[in-house]
Structure 1
Amino acid sequence: MKHRPAARHGKFWLSLGLRAVLLMAGASMAGPASAAEPPSVTTMVRKSAAPGETLKVTLGGKGLAGDVRLWTSFGPPMPLADTPPDNGKTDGYCTFAVNVPAGTPLGMHALRVISPNGVSTTLPFLIDDLPTVEKKGGNQSLATAQELTIPGGVDGRVDNLSRDYYRFRVAAGQTVSFEVFCRRLGSPMDASLYLYDAKGRILAYSDDAEGLSTDPQFVYTFAKEGDYIVELRDIRYAGGDAFGYHLRIGDFPCVHTALPLAVKRGSTTRVDFAGVSCSDATPAMAAVPADWAEDWFPVSTRRSTGSSSAFATLAVVAADDVLDREPNNHQPQAQQIELGPSISGRFDDRGDIDQFTFSATKGQRYQFAGFTREIGAPSDLTFRVLNSEGKAIASADDNGTSEGTLDVTFPADGTYTLELVDLNKRGGPQYSYRVVPSLYRPGFSLSASTDTVNVPAGGTASLVVTAARRDYPGPIEIEVRGLPQGFRAGAARLGPGINSATVTISATPDAASMSLADVTIIGSARVQETAFEATASLVDALRGRWSGVTQVNPRFAESVVLTVAPARGITLNVDPAEVVFGPSLKATVKVTATRAAGFDGPIKLVTSPEKDGLPANITAELKPIEAGATEAVVTLTANEKAAKGPFSIALSGVHEKDKVVTTAAVPNLGLRLQEAFQLAAVPMATPMLARGSTLKLKVNVTRNPAYAGEVRLVCEKLPAGVTAPEIVLKADQVEAELTLSAAADATVGMASEVILRASSPAEAKISSTIPLPAFSVQ
């Protein structure tokens, strides 16, 4: 999702009643906003707009006064509107003049508020070609229903213990589609939609339309001309400022997904649609440029005689999708495929089974990942892989709101069949699915904790990255890719066995404010001697913020936005940025503080997170930076069980004075835990030791930077009759010459198990070993 620089157009008056609601909402939030607080939005009056529309968008929340602008995914930043007269002067709300370019694709888009204090989190926003009005209020009964002209849409919010009614007129025989966007727009509203005739009799109802994240959707054909009413409410009668909705009523197809669900980059593909009422939806032609940068592509459709649209999102892939082709219900009919391209299909009828036959070789391990509910389809996918005799060799069901993954290792060369079916044997025009086969590879996937990072000028901010490992326990290097000038990321590593790490991003004091940058969080590793990369997903973080929505648009899935926020009262740094030590060793770093005037109290240092913020078997002695002081020393200690490898830790400082608490992050500290001693034996020119003689062997010793003392060298597992005197290297010595002596009766043969141990004379636990080069005793 690219953050582009824009434009001021349009006039639209906000009703006095709604302004009062927003003012009260802002006033009710916990105290006045701090001057350095980034904008936050809890209420948005308009949740949609049409291509080419000029409108005003009013937001409620905090930090919305002053030089604020509206970033959009469909154009450059939008300025404050010139009305109402107090616009931009009240912390609790503001109104923007928004111009939507005529060619803006339909579907899910995004807004953010940006100010000198930072940027808000993402606000989902719908581009919809239905003419849309705002809820006027006072429409909480059948008798006072707000009049609508259809096709049309309504942006509104529902109050607690309330419901909203809308009246419209239809012709006899007219078919009308009804749909509500709530959860898919991040609203906590669990919407229910009722259709009444003029006498208040219920004609149709939808609560949780399958596949649409609990949002309602249905189609109704009216037998008689006349006035009809829809009621919209939360199923629990909950409501409030955040309980917003976008109601759509029109002649659009009721679409769940496109079909196929993926198209090839650099190609033009016919796209049909899956949904409860889209048999007459006009196919779309998806022309994806070869240089298309995103992994998704928007498409839309209308009925052949319709005036309003439905929309969907395609995955963009490197190879053409395989499209399910009936009949393929049984192995003799199974559709022949090659493993590799993804599969798009649909269970056309109740009990429909789709089977795909392919060749595999013994020992190949494949995974088949399913996608339905998280992309808008209602199918509850189950998988089986059958051998040529029809016997199942592997099966899998769903994994919560995702369809799970079937993991199979093929026992022999041969022909196999992938069988797909809905768990409850459901079928119909909306029951689409996508399956992605991939050759199994050890590695990992990543998730990030937030899509928004406000970095204090001259300071540091952080987010958390979590790994789900697949048969790979080793280190993962974390990179923040796409950082603009003025920003840098601290070393971030998931060491062996570590599944979560804090990533820090720092800004220079003069980094540009009021500017947004898209970055991605990338994890890389050498897995089985091959480079492996994964991009952190934001889906789980957004689900948590958007009321547990199942369907997160791929537009939001990976892009983290960062900007500069005002400097804080304290800025912390660490020196050095990386330390090397190891089991049974210690290292020290210095945390330094730059204080603004008045920030002269003690600064408590803690790990981030405070609990489990250090790798196992490592402790940190964290002393505060005393009042008025500018530095403190942190001592890190690894016990003998500490794992070796690259790690990183994050610290933060807490300053409290006059009940004002200020927290500042410290740039990540890199840790490299290594052996106490690196030993290298120089190869012997003639590795033979005769009885009654000696053999010389040179050894180089490199000390761990955390150890500067003497080193004792001892040979272990020598053959009977062979000896080597102990050597102690002084602190400034790095090379030793071992002398192996064979007695006259020494055991003859190859000596291939001799170990050289280097240890600290003062602490035996500080030691390292290597095998000595083999030699023969003759």
Structure 2
Amino acid sequence: GQLLVVDGSVVVEQTEPHADREKAQAIAIGQTISGQLTAKEQVDVYKLSATAGQSVTFAMHCFRFFYKRHNQFDQLDPILVISDATGRELSSNDDFSFADSLIHYKFEQAGDYFITVRDVDFNGTASFTYVLQTTDRPFLTAAFPMAVSPSGPLTFQVAGYNLATPTAELVSNSLPNPLPIGRYAAQLSAGSPAFNPVTLEVTDLPLIADVEPNDKPDQAQAASAPQAINGRMDAPNDIDNFSLTLKAGQTVRCEVRARRNGSSLDSTIRVLNATGGVLAANDDIHPSTKDSMLVFTPPADGVYTLQIRDLLNRGGPTFGYVLSVKPEVADFTAQCDEDRAGLGPGTNIPWYVKLTKVGNFNAPVEIRVEGLPAGVTFAPLTIPAHATDGVLILQAAADAKPVASLVKVFAKATIPGPEGQPPQVIEKLVEPLTEMEMPGGGRMIWPVETQMVSVCSIFDIAAVRVTPTELTLKPGEKATIEVEIQRRENYKDRLTLDVMLQHLGQVFGTSLPPGVKLVDAGAKTSLDANETKGRVVIEIVPDAKPVERMPLSI
């Protein structure tokens, strides 16, 4: 879930129905409403009083939190309607921030007005929660540039409502100085009070700004690698072109960060040759984002055009982007499935770590956890250079007390430096993935920002014991691991033993090193309701590469 923190007063929706003007719940401008559409065809109506000439922003927050939830069956797709005391519709909005609604309205006459909240299809269920902000204060919808260097600049062009000036400054105490590399919810101000937060990216890449006109390839603005470009689709049908002078075989990675930074842009990028032919293109990196990324290796020395536009040719102040162009070097990213772990005293839980390698990265990667609660440790994990998967085993002491804390997982590797230079240390924050339940019982994973570890008092499985606890094997050899389950009293469900995280035939993570496989013959991995003992059989393939002290989870 997600908790939205606001600086005004919060009103909880009343429990009695308020679906029309006669029963409307009274609110005041400046309040934030926490509401819920719990049933089909439910409509929530709120009543407020406005003065003549008062300009008010109404902003919904709900759909953008959809992928923060574990249950993915339904989600509110809101629509907002403003009407006068007679019921005459004055303004409405369906989608502004993703599927969330936003209306800015100037009330010409003093009087009572009504705000209606409903699902666009009149659906409703217990998970249809929403937050409705109402404010006549300055309200930001965008800030430009979207990326800055650690030293600034700290002045931004701003767009939104009730703004007295087109520029704003970063609030001095909202981020450290100098600015740390990363992406932040930053507060800007043109005085007091501060505006609502906007996403600010801090990068160590050299920065340039998109300069018009560059709508056509023959107007392409010069760019280079490494560099980051602050750009914006200023109006519908805007296209930005940038020229790159590259050597044959000089691989570059071109990546857009727009939607991830709160932009309205649904980017698509292409690389063109001198005659306008498309050499590479990408729309979405991953289903989790509308941002684009491509890796391009020039077939010959020359000037190439990197082109970016909105997929639907939209544009405006909220369609900003950061386009980075970097030489493809040895590097990696890491993800961890899952984002939470609940351990009983004396028990273990696996987190599956997966590496994505680029630029011929070939080095061992050490994984560690910081911030574990008292009584919880982790088994050392180093993923070998020839592997991409490993299992991080969290362990709770037998006397661990109930406790919880947020943790961070880090991945660290050392690679050779440039010729004549010392080795380079690469350290990354491992991105947590949350499990989401999908219609039909499917499993989907989605990137999130936090991970939690807790110690709980009661679990259905009190302990899992294996014999032996360590294995040393040669290529071609097999080993049997005996497994004993200690069940809690009255826990009689069937159990399956596995060394992988898989669901409906799809493998999401594995603790098996490359060259190690499961063997069915002699194994017992399905335990009936009253059974407590099973076995797992593994085999080392003849050409398996050596690994040392790789954790194996069952």
Q: TM-score over 0.5 for the alignment?
A: yes
The answer to whether the aligner puts 1:194 opposite 2:81 as a matched pair is yes
Q: How far apart are the structure 2 equivalents of 1:588 and 1:300? A: 58
In structure 1, what is the equivalent of residue 257 of structure 2?
A: 371
In structure 1, what is the equivalent of residue 105 of structure 2?
A: 220
Is the partner of 2:403 in helix, strand or coil?
A: coil
Whether contact under 8 Å (2:200, 2:261) holds in the other structure is: no
Whether contact under 8 Å (2:37, 2:128) holds in the other structure is: yes
In structure 1, what is the equivalent of residue 182 of structure 2?
A: 295
Aligned-residue offset at 1:590 = 5.2
The answer to whether the aligner puts 1:638 opposite 2:540 as a matched pair is yes
Identify which range, 249-258 or 367-376, moves more after superposition.
249-258
In structure 2, what residue type is equivalent to 1:644? K
Aligned-residue offset at 1:594 = 6.8
The answer to whether the aligner puts 1:464 opposite 2:352 as a matched pair is yes
Q: CA 1:203/1:376 → structure 2, altered by over 3 Å: closer, same or farther? A: same
In structure 2, what is the equivalent of residue 172 of structure 1?
A: 52
Tell me the TM-score normalized by structure 1. 0.58
Which of the numbers 513, 518, 533 marks the counterpart of 1:618? 518
Which of the numbers 250, 256, 274 marks the counterpart of 2:135? 250
In structure 1, what is the equivalent of residue 479 of structure 2?
A: 587
Aligned-residue offset at 1:135 = 1.6
Whether contact under 8 Å (2:432, 2:449) holds in the other structure is: yes
Q: CA 1:577/1:631 → structure 2, altered by over 3 Å: closer, same or farther? A: same
The answer to whether the aligner puts 1:503 opposite 2:392 as a matched pair is yes
In structure 1, what is the equivalent of residue 408 of structure 2?
A: 519
- Gap runs ≥5 in structure 2: 70-74, 418-422, 440-445
Is the partner of 2:431 in helix, strand or coil?
A: coil
In structure 1, what is the equivalent of residue 72 of structure 2?
A: none
Whether contact under 8 Å (2:339, 2:433) holds in the other structure is: no
Whether contact under 8 Å (2:228, 2:325) holds in the other structure is: yes
In structure 2, what is the equivalent of residue 80 of structure 1?
A: none
Q: How far apart are the structure 1 equivalents of 2:348 and 2:453? A: 12
Q: How far apart are the structure 2 equivalents of 1:393 and 1:431? A: 25
Aligned-residue offset at 1:172 = 3.1
Q: Which has the higher Rg, Structure 1 or Structure 2?
A: 1
The answer to whether the aligner puts 1:142 opposite 2:21 as a matched pair is yes
Aligned-residue offset at 1:189 = 1.8
Instruction: Tell me the alpha carbon deviations over residues 159-200 of structure 1, each in whole angstroms, 9 at most, x when there is no partner.
Output: 212111111222333322111001234473211111112211
In structure 1, what is the equivalent of residue 297 of structure 2?
A: 409
Whether contact under 8 Å (1:475, 1:645) holds in the other structure is: no
Whether contact under 8 Å (1:302, 1:310) holds in the other structure is: no
Is the partner of 2:260 in helix, strand or coil?
A: helix
- After superposition, residues 520-559 of structure 1 pair within 5 angstroms as 520-522=409-411, 524=413, 534-538=428-432, 541=435, 557-559=448-450
Q: How far apart are the structure 1 equivalents of 2:94 and 2:107? A: 20
Instruction: Tell me the alpha carbon deviations over residues 5-39 of structure 1, each in whole angstroms, 9 at most, x when there is no partner.
Output: xxxxxxxxxxxxxxxxxxxxxxxxxxxxxxxxxxx
Q: How far apart are the structure 1 equivalents of 2:358 and 2:245? A: 25
Aligned-residue offset at 1:266 = 5.1
Q: CA 1:331/1:597 → structure 2, altered by over 3 Å: closer, same or farther? A: closer
In structure 2, what is the equivalent of residue 132 of structure 1?
A: 10
Q: How far apart are the structure 2 equivalents of 1:277 and 1:431? A: 20
Q: How far apart are the structure 2 equivalents of 1:206 and 1:303? A: 28
The answer to whether the aligner puts 1:351 opposite 2:237 as a matched pair is yes
Q: How far apart are the structure 2 equivalents of 1:239 and 1:527? A: 57
- Root mean square deviation, CA, Å: 4.2
- Gap runs ≥5 in structure 1: 1-122, 546-551, 653-778
Q: How far apart are the structure 2 equivalents of 1:346 and 1:602? A: 56
Whether contact under 8 Å (1:582, 1:644) holds in the other structure is: no
Whether contact under 8 Å (1:254, 1:276) holds in the other structure is: yes
Q: How far apart are the structure 2 equivalents of 1:583 and 1:379? A: 52
In structure 1, what is the equivalent of residue 420 of structure 2?
A: none
Q: CA 1:248/1:303 → structure 2, altered by over 3 Å: closer, same or farther? A: farther
Q: How many equivalent residue pairs? A: 517
The answer to whether the aligner puts 1:560 opposite 2:451 as a matched pair is yes
Aligned-residue offset at 1:592 = 6.1
Which of the numbers 433, 445, 463 marks the counterpart of 1:571? 463
Aligned-residue offset at 1:231 = 0.4
Whether contact under 8 Å (1:253, 1:303) holds in the other structure is: no
Percent sequence identity over matched residues?
24
In structure 2, what is the equivalent of residue 360 of structure 1?
A: 246
Q: How far apart are the structure 2 equivalents of 1:495 and 1:520? A: 18
Q: How far apart are the structure 2 equivalents of 1:258 and 1:373? A: 14
Which of the numbers 455, 478, 490 marks the counterpart of 2:343? 455
Aligned-residue offset at 1:433 = 1.4
- After superposition, residues 213-292 of structure 1 pair within 5 angstroms as 213-253=98-138, 255-265=140-150, 267=152, 269-274=154-159, 280=165, 282-285=167-170, 287=172, 288-290=175-177
Is the partner of 2:212 in helix, strand or coil?
A: coil
Aligned-residue offset at 1:589 = 4.3
Aligned-residue offset at 1:368 = 0.8
Aligned-residue offset at 1:405 = 1.0
Which of the numbers 154, 163, 180 marks the counterpart of 2:33? 154
Q: How far apart are the structure 2 equivalents of 1:268 and 1:530? A: 29
Q: CA 1:589/1:292 → structure 2, altered by over 3 Å: closer, same or farther? A: farther
Is the partner of 2:28 in helix, strand or coil?
A: coil
Q: CA 1:158/1:559 → structure 2, altered by over 3 Å: closer, same or farther? A: closer
Q: CA 1:433/1:460 → structure 2, altered by over 3 Å: closer, same or farther? A: same
Q: CA 1:275/1:414 → structure 2, altered by over 3 Å: closer, same or farther? A: farther
Aligned-residue offset at 1:215 = 0.8
Q: CA 1:141/1:419 → structure 2, altered by over 3 Å: closer, same or farther? A: same
